[in-house]
């Protein structure tokens, strides 16, 4: 049984989706189950039409219509599945770093073309199928149906997915509207309907099959096809963004007894009030597991959102479970804390790296000089530095030392081992050694014409290329049109934006953490998180520092920060206000003598308008 389950598991995970190999089995089962449910719901409307057609055909005694409709339905469904799969893949794809806009365009074009192809496939076959269900006026006009289906698909693609591929929105944002209201509103957008009807009119004129009756049914078909396309998107969005079954349980994988259809069986058992079978386990994900699944970006964002909601909601069991388990098992809190602090550390490291890469060499030098500790006291009078260690892979240098020739070596930079090319006649290095400054009498001076010609040509090439780069820069900046610059210019702060986008979940996670800290004032009887408060405050200060550094780089490099920066900045201010407002009477105890941190927090309190006169 276990072997069969493993085979099924491997079979379920396609080999081409190698980036999803690190997904825990519970999360994979949950996503698969949701995907299957959403797909079945999408097919439901078509089944309804098929049933109606079957009844009609049965009454009229014409069964071949139903057969054709069934065939069309079967052909159309792989398109629905492919569309849903593409939406889910796009939703969970992590952010990708592009240095230039043209790179992003080139990488996204295949995906957009695939999406357009799938949408056209679905719209054409759906159009054909629905035309058979509702009227027979188009039975002899397959070309009209084809053109009409294409128009619907293109109109939908341009309106919904044309410019940018968006993820599913988080629950509560744009998803609160009733799904049918949302579908109808999107479908009956007058511009889309007008576009499709206008195109249908034109195609009718082209194929010379235009009549008022056909136009009316074309309008009905348009609404049905657009409704179907919107319904697919909304259903997948609604199902995939449903509430996650998160619980504060240890990060231990559940047994192999869990099957994909267990939630359905459990639901049926519960509705009938039957006793629960022993081998059935209700699927639950641990907070740590869900927050740690970085390869599924969309799920990661959802888990962070759910964590925030659970921490803030008084009806949820996260905080009561956390604080009541303190005496029995503090490991749950420690695991959660480590995951969250790990996210903060990762963000800080990524931002530091991105900011360093974005700095110009002058700025980097100034920053390093500023960071380097000043040497106190008198410096040594000797000008030359002693040779400290010689790399072992320099036989010629050893040879020099063996000959008791001690060159005046001044190390200027890199100290990597590299082979030295020595002259066959005199034994001295024939080419300069990186990191070592040799005097003229230490270098080989034997006549070597090919080498000299090579050096001479190299010097000319370097001079000319410098001159050329100046001219090419002038041409690049002045003569080329704006769209070339837009597409091909390097985004100076692309790395910073990439680091920010990868940390979008941090806003919800930090807000949730702050909610737990505030609730601990009343509910934490055992002082579980008391010792961690200083760490949390330090983490908030660090994150804010990186965000300010990104803001400075934006000004210096004349770039544009993404929306995540503003969102994180607002989130950090919110978190700092909540923490300082609630913990200001206890800051002395929390900070425990760290004068610098106390000073920073006092500055924050002054900026936020929180009284701090009681602090030293």
Partner 1 sequence: MEQIEDVQRLVSDPRQDQEAGNSIWTTLYNIFHTWKDYLLQLIQGQQYSRWAPLDYSLAIYRKMMGWDEAYIRCIILHPTSVQKAVVTHKDVVHVFGVGPTAQLQSAEQVDLYCGAFRPCTIHELAVGCAAGIFIWRHVTNTLWDNRVLRHAAHIHVTSVQWNEDGTVLVSAALGSNHIIVWDPESGQTIRFLSSSISFLLYSPDFQMLFGASSDSGASVCYVDRRTWKLEQILEGRRVQTAAWTACSTYLLFVQKDDTNLYAITRNSEVDVFLKPQLFWAFELVANLQTTPFAGQELCRSQPHAIAVDPSNVYLAVIYKKQPFVELFKLCMAKHKKLSILGPEYIYSDDNQTLRTGIFPTCVCFEHGKNGQRNLAIAWTSGHFQLKNL
The footprint of partner 1 (CB under 8 A) covers: 171-174, 176-177, 184-185, 188, 190, 193, 212, 243, 309, 312-316, 511, 515, 567, 570, 573-574, 577-578, 581, 608-610
Q: Which is nearer to partner 1, 292 or 507 (CB)?
A: 507
Q: Which is nearer to partner 1, 262 or 507 (CB)?
A: 507
Q: What's the closest the beta carbon of residue 568 comes to partner 1, in angstroms? A: 12
Q: What's the closest the beta carbon of residue 559 comes to partner 1, in angstroms? A: 22
Q: What's the closest the beta carbon of residue 282 comes to partner 1, in angstroms? A: 17
Q: What's the closest the beta carbon of residue 580 comes to partner 1, in angstroms? A: 11
Q: Which long-range contacts (CB under 8 A, 24 or more apart) does 268-277 make?
A: none
Q: What's the closest the beta carbon of residue 333 comes to partner 1, in angstroms? A: 22
d(CA 168, CA 159): 16
Q: What's the closest the beta carbon of residue 84 comes to partner 1, in angstroms? A: 22
d(CA 269, CA 517): 39
Beta bridge partners of 285: 246
CA angle 285, 514, 573 (to 5 degrees): 130
Q: Which is nearer to partner 1, 313 or 334 (CB)?
A: 313
d(CA 111, CA 117): 10
Q: Which is nearer to partner 1, 174 or 477 (CB)?
A: 174
Q: What's the closest the beta carbon of residue 262 comes to partner 1, in angstroms? A: 23
Q: What's the closest the beta carbon of residue 570 comes to partner 1, in angstroms? A: 7
φ, ψ for residue 554, nearest 5 deg: -60, -40
Q: Which is nearer to partner 1, 373 or 609 (CB)?
A: 609
CB 24 within 8 A of CB 253: yes
Q: Which is nearer to partner 1, 188 or 205 (CB)?
A: 188
The helix (H) or strand (E) run that includes residue 247 is: strand 246-247
φ, ψ for residue 171, nearest 5 deg: -60, 140
Q: Which is nearer to partner 1, 211 or 405 (CB)?
A: 211
Sign of CA dihedral 127, 128, 133, 136: positive
Three-state secondary structure of 430-477 = CCCCCCECCCHHHCCCCCCHHHHHHHHHHHHHHHHHHHHHHHHHHHHH
Q: What's the closest the beta carbon of residue 46 comes to partner 1, in angstroms? A: 23
Q: What's the closest the beta carbon of residue 355 comes to partner 1, in angstroms? A: 25
Q: Please name which of 201, 226, 198, 199 lies closest in space to residue 211, comparing C-alpha atoms.
A: 201
Q: What's the closest the beta carbon of residue 229 comes to partner 1, in angstroms? A: 17
Q: Which is nearer to partner 1, 193 or 260 (CB)?
A: 193
* 308-333 residues labelled b (16+ CB within 10 A) or e (exposed): bbbbbeeeeebbeebbebbeeeeebb
Phi-psi label, residue 527: left if phi above 0, alpha if psi -120 to 50, beta otherwise: left
Kindly write down the DSSP assignment for every residue of 308-359, as one continuous string.
HHHHH-SSSSHHHHHHHSTTT-THHHHHHHHHHHHHHHHHHHHHHHHHHHHS
Q: Which is nearer to partner 1, 446 or 570 (CB)?
A: 570
Q: Which is nearer to partner 1, 3 or 173 (CB)?
A: 173
In terms of C-beta density within 10 A (0-12 exposed, 13-18 middle, 19 or more buried), how is residue 379 classed? Answer: exposed
Q: Please name which of 164, 19, 1, 25 lies closest in space to residue 10, comparing C-alpha atoms.
A: 25
Kindly write down the DSSP assignment for every residue of 349-392, as one continuous string.
HHHHHHHHHHS-HHHHHHHHHHHSPPPPSPPPS--SPPP----T
Q: Which is nearer to partner 1, 178 or 595 (CB)?
A: 178
């Amino acid at each position: 049984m276990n072997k069969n389950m493993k085979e099924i598991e491997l079979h379920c995970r396609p080999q081409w989706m190698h980036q999803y190999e690190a997904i825990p089995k519970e999360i994979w089962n949950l996503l698969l189950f949701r995907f299957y449910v959403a797909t079945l719901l999408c097919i439901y409307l078509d089944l309804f039409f098929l049933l109606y057609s079957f009844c009609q055909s049965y009454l009229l005694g014409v069964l071949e219509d139903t057969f054709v409709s069934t065939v069309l339905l079967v052909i159309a469904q792989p398109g629905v599945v492919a569309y849903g799969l593409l939406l889910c893949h796009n939703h969970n794809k992590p952010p990708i770093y592009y240095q230039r806009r043209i790179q992003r365009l080139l990488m996204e074009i295949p995906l957009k073309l695939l999406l357009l192809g799938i949408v056209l496939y679905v719209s054409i076959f759906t159009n054909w199928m629905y035309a058979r269900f509702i009227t027979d006026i188009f039975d002899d006009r397959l070309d009209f149906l084809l053109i009409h289906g294409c128009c619907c698909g293109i109109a939908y693609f341009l309106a919904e997915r044309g410019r940018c591929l968006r993820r599913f929105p988080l629950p509560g944002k744009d998803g609160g509207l009733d799904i049918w209201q949302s579908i109808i509103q999107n479908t009956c957008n007058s511009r889309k309907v007008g576009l499709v009807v206008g195109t249908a009119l034109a195609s009718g004129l082209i194929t010379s099959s235009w009549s008022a009756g056909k136009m009316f049914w074309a309008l009905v078909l348009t609404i049905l096809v657009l409704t179907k396309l919107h319904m697919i998107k909304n259903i997948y969005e609604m199902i995939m963004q449903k509430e996650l079954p998160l619980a504060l349980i240890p990060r231990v994988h559940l047994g192999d007894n869990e099957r994909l259809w267990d939630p359905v069986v459990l639901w049926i058992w519960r509705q009938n009030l039957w006793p629960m079978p022993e081998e059935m386990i209700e699927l639950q994900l641990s907070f740590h597991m869900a927050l740690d699944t970085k390869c599924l970006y969309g799920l990661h964002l959802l888990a962070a959102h759910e964590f925030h909601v659970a921490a803030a909601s008084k009806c949820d069991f996260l905080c009561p479970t956390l604080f009541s388990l303190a005496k029995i098992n503090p490991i749950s809190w420690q695991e959660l804390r480590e995951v969250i602090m790990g996210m903060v550390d990762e963000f800080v490291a990524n931002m530091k790296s991105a900011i360093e890469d974005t700095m110009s060499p002058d700025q980097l030098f100034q920053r390093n000089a500023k960071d380097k500790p000043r040497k106190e006291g008198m410096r040594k009078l000797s000008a030359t530095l002693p040779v400290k260690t010689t790399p072992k892979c320099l036989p010629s240098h050893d040879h020099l030392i063996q000959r008791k020739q001690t060159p005046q070596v001044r190390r200027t930079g890199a100290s990597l081992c590299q082979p030295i090319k020595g002259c066959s006649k005199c034994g001295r290095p024939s080419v300069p050694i990186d990191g070592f400054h040799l005097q003229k009498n230490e270098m080989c001076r034997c006549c070597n014409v090919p080498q000299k010609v090579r050096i001479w040509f190299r010097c000319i090439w370097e001079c000319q290329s410098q001159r050329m780069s100046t001219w090419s820069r002038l041409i690049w900046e002045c003569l080329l049109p704006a769209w070339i610059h837009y597409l091909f210019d390097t985004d100076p702060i692309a790395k910073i934006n990439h680091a920010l986008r990868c940390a979008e979940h941090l806003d919800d996670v930090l807000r949730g953490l702050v909610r737990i800290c505030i609730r601990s004032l009343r509910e934490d009887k055992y002082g579980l998180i008391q010792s961690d408060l200083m760490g949390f405050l330090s983490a908030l200060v660090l994150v804010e520092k990186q965000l300010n550094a990104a803001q400075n780089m934006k000004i210096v490099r004349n770039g544009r920060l993404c929306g995540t920066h503003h969102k994180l900045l607002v989130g950090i201010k919110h978190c700092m206000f909540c923490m300082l407002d609630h913990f200001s009477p206890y800051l002395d105890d929390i900070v425990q003598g760290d004068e610098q941190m106390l000073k920073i927090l006092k500055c924050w309190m002054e900026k936020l308008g929180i009284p701090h006169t009681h602090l030293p």
